[in-house]
Amino acid sequence: MDTTDILKRVRQIEIKTRGLSNNIFAGEYHSAFKGRGMMFSEVREYNYGDDIRNIDWNVTARFHHPYIKVFEEEREMTVMLLIDVSGSREFGTTWNFKKNIITEMAAVLAFSAIQNNDKAGVIFFSDRIEKFIPPKKGRKHILHIIRELISFVPDNRETNISEVLRYLTGAIKKKCTTFLISDFLDDNFEQALKIANQKHDMVALRVYDPREQELPDVGFIQFKDAETGETKWVNTSRKKNRDSYNKWWRNNEMLINNIFTKCGVDNVAVRTDDDYVKALMSLFKKRN
């Protein structure tokens, strides 16, 4: 894809995703993802029913009348997008590849963040940290993120989710809202996810293709692992092979969902042939 094509695609995604964030997600995003906490706003006279723990004793002593501290929610947040750029994101049997869905969802979340006056940053990862874009505000910054989402070419093709979670925990000191966007074709990341979620507000967005759920009955097919390059011939006409694959998929899906549950991480699964808008809206509403 040359520079002209990239800029054209950036513009297309900006128009679509900014419109979604403005018209659909604005209120839902604001209420679903809270600020880091409460900050001091002002002092006012004590009223019956106020929490006595908020009494400002210094001001009370000065005016010989009880005054309390008033706090308001600290709305400004930092939003981090952890983007899986491993080889498996290039898979797709419908009109959309997993990479396209990941790109658009990340763009929608980034635009929603800046519309809410939040900072947005990105970490691209494979089985290593491929690129870190520090969190900033502004449309120019978001367009830079979208350009990278479209054109970025990773050095490695395998996946290590634990690695990016450890990096996030070390690199981002203050609590932030983090969207981990991946197909989650990895294992042994439960402990790293649990630790990351203790420090940050983690949200998992799992993208998958319907063809990954089951094998078609089309005879012998050569499969190639997009991450390792390993190839293997499989007779898909054998029911035993199709059943075995389907069982593996269901067990793996159950394992991933159990990890999210045990770690207390909100999550949603998005098929490449489904509407990711509905998936994100259901996630936002679940958090309200």
Going from N- to C-terminal start, the domains of the chain cover: 3-32+76-287, 37-74
Mean pLDDT confidence for 124-148: 94
6-15, 35-44, 162-171, 172-181: least confidently modelled range: 35-44
Residue 45 pLDDT greater than 80, yes or no: yes
Q: What is the pTM of this model?
A: 0.82
DSSP reduced 3-state for 248 = helix
What was the pLDDT predicted at 84?
Answer: 96
Q: Sorting pLDDT into bands at 50, 70 and 90, what band is 7?
A: low
pLDDT digits (tens, 9 = 90+) for 245-284: 889 889 999 999 999 999 999 999 999 988 888 898 888 8
Structure tokens at 56: 């400002």
Long-range residue pairs from 38-42, CB within 8 A, at least 24 positions apart, any chain: 38/71, 38/72, 38/73, 38/74, 39/71, 39/72, 39/73, 39/74, 40/69, 40/70, 40/71, 41/70, 41/71, 41/72, 42/69, 42/70
What is the distance between the alpha carbons of residues 20 and 165, in angstroms, rounded to a whole number? Answer: 28
Residue 68 pLDDT greater than 70, yes or no: yes
Q: What is the dihedral of CA 23, 286, 197, 129, to 10 degrees?
A: -40
Residue 172 pLDDT greater than 90, yes or no: yes
25-39, 66-80, 173-187: least confidently modelled range: 25-39
What was the pLDDT predicted at 75?
Answer: 56
Q: Which residues contact 84 (CB under 8 A, 6 or more apart)?
A: 102, 125, 126, 159, 161, 181, 182, 183
21-35, 72-86, 106-120, 165-179: least confidently modelled range: 21-35
What is the distance between the alpha carbons of residues 183 and 174, in angstroms, rounded to a whole number? Answer: 27
- Taking CA 157 as the corner, what is the angle to CA 195 and CA 159, rounded to the nearest 5 degrees? 20
DSSP string of 177-237?
EEEEEE-----S-HHHHHHHHHHSEEEEEEEE-GGGTS--S-SEEEEE-TTT--EEEEETT
Residue 90 pLDDT greater than 90, yes or no: no
What is the distance between the alpha carbons of residues 54 and 35, in angstroms, rounded to a whole number? Answer: 20
Closest to 205 in 3D by CA, of 35, 83, 23? 83
What was the pLDDT predicted at 155?
Answer: 94
Residue 183 pLDDT greater than 60, yes or no: yes
25-34, 91-100, 143-152, 214-223: least confidently modelled range: 25-34
Q: Letter for the amino acid at 183?
A: D
CATH code of 3-32+76-287, in short, is: 3.40.50.410
Residue 153 pLDDT greater than 70, yes or no: yes
Q: Sorting pLDDT into bands at 50, 70 and 90, what band is 115?
A: confident
Residue 73 pLDDT greater than 60, yes or no: no
DSSP reduced 3-state for 241 = helix
Instruction: Kindly report the average pLDDT of the chain as a whole number.
Output: 86
